[in-house]
Structure 1
Amino acid sequence: MIYFDNAATTKPLDIAIKKFVEVSNSYFANPSSLHSAGKNSKQIIEKSETEFKKIIDAKYGKLIFTSSATLSNNIAITGKVEYLKGKIKKRKVKILYCESDHPSIVDTVKSQKDVEIKALRFDKLYSKLNEKIDIEDYILSIYFDSIKEFEPDFLILQWVNNENGLILPVEKIANFSRKVKDNITIHIDAVQGFLKLPFFNISDIDTISFSSHKFGGLKGSSILYLKDLTKIKPIFFGGGQMENLFPSTENVASIAASIATCNFLYTKIEKVFAENLEKKHYLCSLITEDEILSKNLFFLSDMIFSKSTFSPYIIKIYNNKIPSQVLQNILNDEKIMVSIGSACFSNKKKMIKDSYFYGIPEKLSDKGIRISFFLDETKEQINIFIEKMKQIIVKYLDW
């Protein structure tokens, strides 16, 4: 099998599995129990928090260990909105986000009651690339203008888009937001960028969500960073664990496995980044240098060359003939695993097209597949993928 769907989930690293088994065997007691075994389990959680805060350079604040980034986003967004409602009584709370964000952001924002919402989209992205205009400047202009005009109370940013790898300059947006409104609340979904890109300065950020299975950890384990515990309202109720924000018995082994993975990858970010940039360059060059593929496969040109605009781990490839689902099924039969987009969209009956979000030509918009790399992909696998794509394209051209 060739696995090119790491944006959906990564293969667990050996160090994560080893740590999970080790802690499961030795620290299985409930960390809320008052006996020594329970206290030992609690110490594992406390040690994990200390180590993770060092990695993200958090000099203060609190970590909430949850079971998924979707849940972390829900806790952060709804909890912050409820807190802000208690502070802003004379008008509705204003929320600014992007329509192409992950469903756990978009749907959670849309579920909020009695709030004022402004949704952004980058519907001129494709044309701006063709005009050779700096994409970061284009994105910043949209955010800066919207922040000045709308003056949001709550700004939500997805650092790296899970569909096409678009990177938001979150640090610049956050700094500008503080200058416009110093008491603005800022949440960042860091799921697709953490331990893959150099991390941003968190001094202006209130909450950040992370997901273990996106960086070689185990599924069912997420981390939510909170700068100030007093500025969020609980949305769940139970035993009081995790400051009552996620009141459930802690999964000590998964928490320890996540932090072990973080410690392993933290010193390798630059090396892994460079390796994936090389893989992406290689894939794109094989397409552009082939007579058949170059005429029938398309991608945003800036995705090849830019380190700052698009993640090297993700590339969205379009074709002008084969619907996304059909192409995915054909490749699946060849044991090549790719995606047509976010796995979290897979159960939705209606998918919004890239033409709406990014201005991709309508004829290409529903004919894209997502390739996403991480640690194990090889040039040999990329060669096989390219050869299969060429065979598929030639076959469809004959129909």
Structure 2
Amino acid sequence: MIYFDNSATTKIDPAVLATYDQVAQNIWGNPSSLHKMGDRAYQLLTSSRKQIASLLGAKQDEIFFTSGGTESNNTAIKGTAIQKREFGKHIITSSVEHASVANAFNALENLGYRVTRLPVDKEGRVNVNDLRNALDTDTTLVSIMGVNNEIGTIQPIEAISDLLTNYPTIQFHVDNVQALGKNIWPRVFTPRVDLSSLSAHKFHAPRGIGILYKKEGKMLSPLHDGGGQEKGLRSGTENLPAIAAMAKAMRLVLTDEADKANHEAAIKRKIVDYLQDKPGIKIFSPVSDDFTPHILCFALEGIRGETLVHTLEEHDIYTSTTSACASTKTDEASTLVSMHVDDKIATSAIRLSFDESNTIEEADEFIAVFDKIYQHFAKINHLGE
């Protein structure tokens, strides 16, 4: 079995699962309880938060636990819009965001907020000058993803940060769900970033747990009212086993990070070298410093993406269409459409996504299997004639 769908979710690390089980069985008190068991849970919660903050280059009080990337994104976006609505109702994002960001902006637009969606170039990247021209006195929020989840584009977060230095009252949110552990963190988590989202199941931790970084002093309106956990920003009893496991997973994924990223890049390069001269193949994720090492999106002209995904699955190779969160919906190629890729090619795209557990041998096997598929469809579609 070859699993090339790590951007959708990763397999939980056995050591991380062991941490989860140990905490679930032995430290099961409520961190808010006053007794000894509660205090033990609270101490683990605090130490996990401290470890995560240190690994991310943040302060302990800037780390808030959520249920995952979707909740973190919604809390950052809607929480800012509500908190700052008396100062302005203009908010800015890109046209290629993950559904949890795009739909949060859609919901706010339906409530009367004015939304600017920045276009992207042929590589799926926003232009900082477009952002500069979009800013006005009513702007309260800019939300731009660090890494595109469909084709792996690294957005110009550093240049955007430089621009927004002159606009200190605008809160800057970066969806970094696809960025952790790819040896690019300083490029997508600058000192100007006010809010940043992470999802644990993208780096070998359990599902249902995530992080919202909120810079000290920045204000958000909570989306949940309750017992006041997470300093009132995210009420609800903390998922302590998952939090401790996430801290463990983050430490592991960031160990030898550069070596792991280089390994993923080698796998990507191997497959790209095979694909790049094939008639009818369009590559959207080149080997480049402007793209992450772990995502490779390409299209085989004349065959729909879901057909190719299922054909590969018959050979025990697991991939996805452009975004697993939208792979069963009609908007599955939203980034490519925003890049003005022809619909027939955009709907033929699939995404391979790697992690450190994948191997060059798996890349070789993928190439061998795909080549037979390619030759079959090349004859049907008369490619190269």
Q: Give the alignment's TM-score, normalised by structure 1.
A: 0.89
- Counterpart amino acid of 2:378? L
Using a 3 Å threshold, how does the CA distance of structure 1 residues 267 and 144 change in structure 2: closer, same or farther? farther
1:131 paired residue number: none
> What pairs up with 1:269-284 in 2 under 5 angstroms?
269-284=257-272
1:174 paired residue number: 161
3-state SS, counterpart of residue 70 of structure 1:
helix
CA RMSD of aligned residues (A): 2.0
- What is the CA distance between 1:274 and its match in structure 2? 0.9
8 Å CA contact retained: 2:266, 2:360: no
8 Å CA contact retained: 2:333, 2:347: no
1:132 paired residue number: none
Q: Which structure shows the higher helix fraction?
A: 1
Which whole-Å CA distance do the structure 2 matches of 1:156 and 1:288 have between them?
33
- What is the CA distance between 1:363 and its match in structure 2? 3.4
Name stretches of at least 5 consecutive residues in structure 2 with no aligned partner.
381-385
Comparing 72-81 with 280-289, greater Cα deviation is found at 280-289
2:180 paired residue number: 194
- What is the CA distance between 1:72 and its match in structure 2? 1.0
3-state SS, counterpart of residue 325 of structure 2:
helix
> What pairs up with 1:215-294 in 2 under 5 angstroms?
215-228=203-216, 231-288=219-276, 294=278
Name stretches of at least 5 consecutive residues in structure 1 with no aligned partner.
127-134
Match of 1:104 among 85, 100, 105: 100
Which whole-Å CA distance do the structure 2 matches of 1:392 and 1:338 have between them?
15
Cα deviation 1:299-325 (Å, max 9, x = unaligned):
03x712x12x11110010111111111
Using a 3 Å threshold, how does the CA distance of structure 1 residues 355 and 43 change in structure 2: closer, same or farther? closer
2:149 paired residue number: 162
The share of aligned pairs that are identical, in percent, is 27
| Residue 299 in structure 1 maps to residue 296 in structure 2 | no
Comparing 344-353 with 323-332, greater Cα deviation is found at 344-353
Q: Give the alignment's TM-score, normalised by structure 2.
A: 0.92
1:381 paired residue number: 362
Which whole-Å CA distance do the structure 2 matches of 1:349 and 1:281 have between them?
30
8 Å CA contact retained: 1:31, 1:42: yes
2:377 paired residue number: 396
- Counterpart amino acid of 1:379? I
Using a 3 Å threshold, how does the CA distance of structure 1 residues 150 and 359 change in structure 2: closer, same or farther? farther
- What is the CA distance between 1:354 and its match in structure 2? 4.6
2:55 paired residue number: 55
2:383 paired residue number: none
- What is the CA distance between 1:227 and its match in structure 2? 1.3
3-state SS, counterpart of residue 142 of structure 2:
strand
How many positions carry a matched residue from both structures?
Answer: 376
| Residue 72 in structure 1 maps to residue 57 in structure 2 | no
Comparing 152-161 with 57-66, greater Cα deviation is found at 57-66
- What is the CA distance between 1:114 and its match in structure 2? 2.1
Which whole-Å CA distance do the structure 2 matches of 1:75 and 1:353 have between them?
23
- Counterpart amino acid of 2:140? D
Q: Of the two structures, which has the highest relative contact order with CA contacts closer than 8 Å and spacing of 6 or more?
A: 1
2:113 paired residue number: 115
Which whole-Å CA distance do the structure 2 matches of 1:23 and 1:313 have between them?
31
